[in-house]
Amino acid sequence: MNYPTVTQIIYSVIPLEFEPEDKYLLKGKGVHKAIELYIKGTLDMDNLPQYFSEYLKDFVRIQKEINLEIESFEERRIDEKYKFSGQADVVCKIKNTRYVIDIKTGKSLCVQWKLQLAAYQYLFKTKKRAVLYWDNCWKFIEYNSLLDFPAFLNCLSLYNYRLKEDKTFNPKTINC
């Protein structure tokens, strides 16, 4: 079954206040890829563009600092109960506690991230959720509001309502 993604649901209901420029989306994808290849042990450090080395060096620092043990990277899951899908950047253990973590290189923190991570936490059955946010270095920001997942479910309800009742509704894929 082809269910809507977490980000598609959230950003269709709570749009970004700005449209990210393609160059920033490409930067984020490049950083993700560099970190993914590093985690898998397949990154060619000699051919890594200098631009990405700052992000990667600091990722290595924070990985050691918080004792991040990665279980999976960019894994997709589907929920049959609520009929949505999502792809978590990182599922890991930190001091024997399972986390779902999203990696963000954007300029500002967004309320949408809290809902996104709450949905991923539900999908991946982790105890905690956090974002690794770039602000001249990686910052580890934990989210723990009990309101976030119910708010996501409200977004899902609105998304499904609009899909069924609003003939002008055209949800687009969001790459944030």
Residues whose CB falls within 8 Å of the CB of residue 58, separated by 6 or more in sequence, listed in order? 137, 138
Q: For the residues 7-21, what does the mean pLDDT come to?
A: 83
Q: Determine the pLDDT at residue 7.
A: 93
Which two tokens mark 44?
């060619």
Model confidence at 45, pLDDT cuts 50, 70, 90, reads: confident
Q: Determine the pLDDT at residue 112.
A: 92
Q: For the residues 50-78, what does the mean pLDDT come to?
A: 92
pLDDT at residue 127 is higher than 80:
yes
Q: What CA–CA distances, in Å, run from 151 to 57, 105, 155?
A: 36, 24, 6
DSSP string, the chain: --PPBHHHHHHHHS--SS---HHHHHHHHHHHHHHHHHHHT---GGGS-HHHHHHHHHHHHHHHHTTEEEEEEEEEEEETTTTEEEEEEEEEEETTEEEEEEEE--SS--HHHHHHHHHHHHHHT-SEEEEEEESSSEEEEEE--TTHHHHHHHHHHHHHHHHHH-TT--------
Q: Which of 4-13, 20-29, 158-167 has the lowest mean pLDDT?
A: 20-29
pLDDT at residue 130 is higher than 90:
yes
Q: For the residues 127-131, what does the mean pLDDT come to?
A: 97
Average pLDDT, the chain: 90
Does residue 131 contact residue 113 with C-beta atoms inside 8 Å? yes
Which two tokens mark 146?
């009990």
Its pTM stands at 0.90
Higher pLDDT, 150 or 22: 150
Give the domains, in start order, of the chain with CATH numbers: 6-165 (3.40.1350.10)
Q: For the residues 148-170, what does the mean pLDDT come to?
A: 94
Q: Determine the pLDDT at residue 167.
A: 87
Higher pLDDT, 51 or 95: 95
